[in-house]
Amino acid sequence: APFRYVYKNDIMYLHFANYGRKMKLLEKDNRVCIEIENYRPDMSEYNFVLLRGSIDIVKDA
């Protein structure tokens, strides 16, 4: 499922529920790969970026 994100000062912050499949997977392995895409409905233009790294859970920010 999609989730919200903010990119600030070379750090990407992700926002999603603190329960469910994503959290269970992150508790086992904090490596992530994220794709962000932007495209026109007719697909005449398509842009994307692929990010790989690790994620740290921030509970109080």
Instruction: Note whether 46 and 39 are within 8 A (CB).
Output: yes
Residue 38 CA: distances (Å) to CA of 2, 27, 42, 45: 14, 30, 12, 8
For residue 59, being part of any structural domain is answered with: no
Place of tokens 């005449």: 44
Distance CA 54, CA 48 (A): 20
The answer to pTM > 0.85 is: no
Residue 25 domain boundaries: 4-54
- When divided into structural domains, the chain yields a total of 1
pLDDT per residue as tens, the chain (61 positions): 677 889 899 888 888 888 889 889 999 999 999 999 999 999 899 999 999 999 998 877 6
Query: What is the DSSP annotation of 15-30?
Result: E--SSSHHHHHHHH--
Instruction: Note whether 54 and 30 are within 8 A (CB).
Output: yes
